[in-house]
Amino acid sequence: MTSQPDPDAFRAFEHAGWEKLPRRYHDAFASLTTQAIGPLLQAVNMRSGMRLLDVATGPGYVAAAAAQNGANVVGVDFSCAMLAEASRRNPGVEFREGDAEDLALPDASFDAVVMNFGLLHLGRPERALAEAHRVLRPGGKIGFTVWAKPEEARGFGIVLRAIHKHGSMDVPLPSGPPFFRFSEPDECRRSLLQAGFAAPEVATIPQLWRLSSPDALFEIMQRSTVRTGGLLRAQTPEALDAIRSDMRDATASHRKDDSVELPMPAVLASAIKQ
């Protein structure tokens, strides 16, 4: 990856990636990221009639769940392809094109803002937290999830270890903020306080990723993710073969009956706008 962070180049890279991914993202990740919806909505005190903004909504899982529970929901994403998928899956829900770092929404217009596995994809996550703070009414709550550290979220631990061992992390991709920055509870609290929020709370959500075979993890990481996929696609063919084989062996150790079960816990952070 290039050494100097360039948030605009990183944003363009992420945007181009997500535009190609809606179906594959859904097939690979829906069963996993939807596990966080209950705790995330609980953390922002979801209730019928509240105005809820789902930032980086992707295929709209959180937005749809909140709408089903009676919230007045807007889902925002910067990928038109993702929004098309979200609207197709959830015809009654309002989705809008928009940037998490620069929301075209009025001040104090929501009771809750959520972001499920979105913050770690942003070049300027501080701006997204500041924007969430701006659009929340006083007393409103923010909640976001990110992946736990790779030692705990084994899917990421396995692929990163294999790349370190057989490939190179030094590939020509736009560098973004550290992928696991918000996996640290202290960093969540610090960033939320810095954005103006009060009473930050951080918890871990246990999640399990069921995969059809030990080969599935490599296929998903290569074809259905943006940053990790870019890292894999930039490896030499020889390194990629070794990485695939290493990942297959490591994943096989999580075999459960006919499938594989990988621990993929999430970190859930929430706070209040005073």
Ligand X SMILES: C[S@@+](CC[C@H](N)C(=O)[O-])C[C@H]1O[C@@H](n2cnc3c(N)ncnc32)[C@H](O)[C@@H]1O
Q: Which residues bind ligand X (CB under 6 A)?
A: 11, 14, 18, 29, 33, 56-58, 61-62, 77-79, 82, 99-101, 116-118, 121-122
Residue nearest to ligand X (CB): 58
Closest distance between ligand X and the C-beta of residue 233, in Å?
A: 18
As beta bridge partners, residue 256 has 259
Pick between residue 80 and residue 252 the one whose CB is nearest to ligand X.
80
Alpha carbons 225 and 88: distance in angstroms, whole number: 21
Pick between residue 100 and residue 234 the one whose CB is nearest to ligand X.
100
Judge whether 129 and 236 are in contact, CB under 8 Å: no
136: part of which helix (H) or strand (E)? Answer: strand 136-147
Pick between residue 95 and residue 218 the one whose CB is nearest to ligand X.
95
Pick between residue 26 and residue 154 the one whose CB is nearest to ligand X.
26
| 116: amino acid identity, one letter | N
Judge whether 141 and 112 are in contact, CB under 8 Å: yes
Closest distance between ligand X and the C-beta of residue 166, in Å?
A: 26
Alpha carbons 266 and 113: distance in angstroms, whole number: 18
Closest distance between ligand X and the C-beta of residue 48, in Å?
A: 21
Q: State whether the Cα torsion 265-98-89-82 is positive or negative.
A: negative
Closest distance between ligand X and the C-beta of residue 245, in Å?
A: 27
Pick between residue 44 and residue 240 the one whose CB is nearest to ligand X.
44
- CB atoms inside a 10 Å sphere around CB 84: 13
Closest distance between ligand X and the C-beta of residue 176, in Å?
A: 10
